[in-house]
């Protein structure tokens, strides 16, 4: 009996993923735990491992966007016949994945809205809560695709359903890109929008709706530079960077100014117990923000090790969903590009982000004289709904003091 390979849910809220490529060919032997295909979700591109050993009998979906829970392949015994269409009586998504199985091409994996329901034999599988919410909001369950266990429509699916402007039917899975010929200009190079890029666009647009304000401060980096140099000399294996120190200093400051390590919700302002500091990384597939968890408890060397691992994997496209979740604050450092200072866009639902420019020698006044000091300019952006100006300024001041006298943060 062949085992179905199901498109897995890799994180809360994931509804679909895009199969980038298969790492095994039909007829090839696979071992449990071996990478089977590359999956692009709205957060990361990840290798999905086989959950069972056997022969990859059939690849049902060669590529393209696929909803969570759908059968994408079959693994079975050598010489076994792969079922061409899953048994409708035993599998819920039933009628809906037939079209996918038969199209087999990335571009055509788009499922018509009429076949989205998790219906088999006319019966829609939905949780009671999902049914109630659908009733209250006037959502037609038949237009939804279930992402719960066994393809059941759960509350999250209904809540995510957005009105279809054109005709009142609802869609949970974002439609594929608009038809190329209709919208794109005739000239120019078209770069297809990946899920990661679409997520970046959606989140930044969301961030733009947040009422923000910026505060700026410059810090003397003499001691930070000396400390970084000394740490590298002592242990060349672990390459501590200014970003690591900034992470440590910010984490310590966040613990002192809990109101900045916060999240605005309609019900309450949530203060997070730990400083999970996200580091903005320019990865090949676009901007990603892996998170250093509990940075306030980590030593500089530990932060450096975690950061090295995360950034390395971000560049190799090997981040896991959990690497990107749970951030409470973000650091964006463009210092290596000789940017003096810049304003970063908030990373919701976080209440603050700090943008770090280059450390450069500047003439500053010190003790009545003009002296040359390595200076850095930090620009912090805050969600004004969660935090007011004075406490935000207090936070930035603590960060500045921490950089000028790193001992304070350790």
Partner 1 sequence: MPELTYREAVRDALVTAMRADDDVFLLGEDIAEMGGSMGVTQGMLAEFGPERVRNTPISEMALAGAAIGAAMQGMRPVAEIMYEDFMTLAAEQVVNQAAKHRYMSGGQLSVPVVFRTQGGAGWSPGAQHAQQLEAWFVHIPGLKVVFASTPEDVRGLLWSSIYDDNPIVFFEHRTLYPIKGDVPEEIEPIPLGKARVHREGGDVTVIATGRLVHESLRAAEEAERDGISVEVVDPRTLQPLDEETLVASVKKTNRAVVAHEAVTRMGFGAEVAAVLQYQAFDWLDAPIERVGAKFAPLPFAPVMENFVVPHAADVLAAIRRTVGRT
Question: Catalytic residues, which ones?
Answer: 384, 388
Dihedral sign, CA of 357, 359, 362, 367? positive
β-partners of residue 360 are 375
Among 3, 98, 131, 293, binds partner 1 (CB under 8 A): 131
How many residues lie near partner 1 (CB under 8 A)?
A: 16
When asked if residue 9 is in the footprint of partner 1 (CB under 8 A), the reply is yes
- In the complex, least distance from residue 148 CB atom to partner 1, rounded to whole angstroms: 5
Is 11:321 a contact under the CB 8 Å cutoff?
yes
Tokens found for residue 395 = 């936070």
Nearer to partner 1, 173 or 392 (CB): 173
Dihedral sign, CA of 132, 138, 140, 146? negative
- Kindly write down the DSSP assignment for every residue of 108-136, as one continuous string: G-PPPGGG-S--BTTB--B-HHHHHHHHH
For the chain, how far is it from start to end, CA to CA, in angstroms?
59
Nearer to partner 1, 138 or 192 (CB): 138
Determine how β-strand 369-383 pairs with β-strand 262-264.
Answer: unpaired
String of contacts with partner 1 for each residue 88-127, x by CB under 8 A: ---------------------------------------x
- In the complex, least distance from residue 132 CB atom to partner 1, rounded to whole angstroms: 4
How far is it, in rounded angstroms, from Cα 22 to Cα 74? Answer: 13
Nearer to partner 1, 128 or 367 (CB): 128
When asked if residue 4 is in the footprint of partner 1 (CB under 8 A), the reply is no
How far is it, in rounded angstroms, from Cα 379 to Cα 400? Answer: 11
- In the complex, least distance from residue 213 CB atom to partner 1, rounded to whole angstroms: 31
When asked if residue 198 is in the footprint of partner 1 (CB under 8 A), the reply is no
Among 13, 27, 33, 149, binds partner 1 (CB under 8 A): 149
When asked if residue 325 is in the footprint of partner 1 (CB under 8 A), the reply is yes
Angle in degrees, 0-180, between the axes of helices 300-315 and 242-256, rounded to the nearest 10: 120
- In the complex, least distance from residue 99 CB atom to partner 1, rounded to whole angstroms: 24
Tokens found for residue 337 = 């590009």
Query: What is the contact surface with partner 1 in residues (CB under 8 A)?
Result: 9, 12, 127-132, 147-149, 152, 154-155, 325-326
């Amino acid at each position: 009996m062949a085992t179905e390979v199901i498109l897995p849910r890799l994180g809360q809220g994931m509804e679909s993923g895009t199969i980038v490529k298969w790492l095994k060919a039909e007829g090839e032997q696979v071992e449990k735990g071996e990478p089977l295909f590359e999956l692009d979700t709205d957060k990361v591109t990840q290798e999905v491992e086989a959950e069972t050993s056997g022969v990859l009998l059939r690849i049902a979906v060669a590529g393209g966007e696929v909803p969570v829970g759908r059968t994408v392949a079959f693994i079975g015994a050598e010489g076994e016949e792969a079922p061409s269409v899953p048994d409708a009586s035993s599998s819920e998504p039933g009628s809906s994945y037939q079209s996918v199985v038969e199209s087999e091409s990335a571009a055509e994996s788009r499922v018509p809205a009429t076949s989205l329901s998790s219906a088999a034999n006319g019966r829609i599988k939905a949780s009671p809560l999902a049914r109630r919410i659908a009733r209250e909001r006037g959502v037609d369950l038949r237009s939804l695709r279930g992402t719960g266990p066994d393809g059941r429509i759960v509350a999250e699916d209904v809540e995510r359903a957005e009105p279809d402007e054109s005709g009142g039917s609802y869609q949970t899975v974002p439609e594929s890109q608009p038809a190329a010929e209709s919208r794109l200009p005739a000239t120019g190079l078209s770069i297809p929008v990946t899920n990661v890029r679409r997520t970046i666009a959606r989140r930044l647009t969301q961030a733009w709706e947040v009422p923000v304000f910026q505060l700026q401060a410059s810090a003397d980096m003499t001691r930070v530079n000396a400390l970084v140099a000394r740490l590298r000399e002592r242990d060349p294996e672990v390459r501590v960077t200014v970003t690591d120190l900034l992470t440590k200093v910010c984490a310590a400051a966040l613990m002192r100014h809990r109101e900045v390590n916060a999240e605005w919700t309609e019900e309450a302002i949530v203060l997070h117990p730990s400083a999970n500091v996200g580091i903005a990384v320019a990865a090949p597939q676009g901007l990603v923000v892996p998170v250093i968890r509990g940075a306030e408890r980590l030593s500089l060397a530990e932060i450096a090790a975690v950061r090295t691992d995360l950034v390395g994997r971000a560049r190799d496209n090997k981040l896991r969903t959990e690497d990107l979740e749970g951030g409470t604050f973000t650091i964006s450092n463009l210092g290596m590009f000789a940017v003096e200072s810049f304003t970063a866009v908030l990373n919701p639902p976080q209440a603050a982000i700090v943008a770090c420019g280059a450390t450069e020698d500047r003439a500053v006044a010190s003790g009545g004289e003009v002296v040359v000091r390595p200076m850095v300019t930090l620009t912090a952006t805050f969600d004004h709904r969660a935090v007011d100006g004075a406490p935000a300024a207090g936070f930035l001041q603590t960060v500045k003091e921490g950089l000028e006298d790193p001992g304070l943060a350790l």
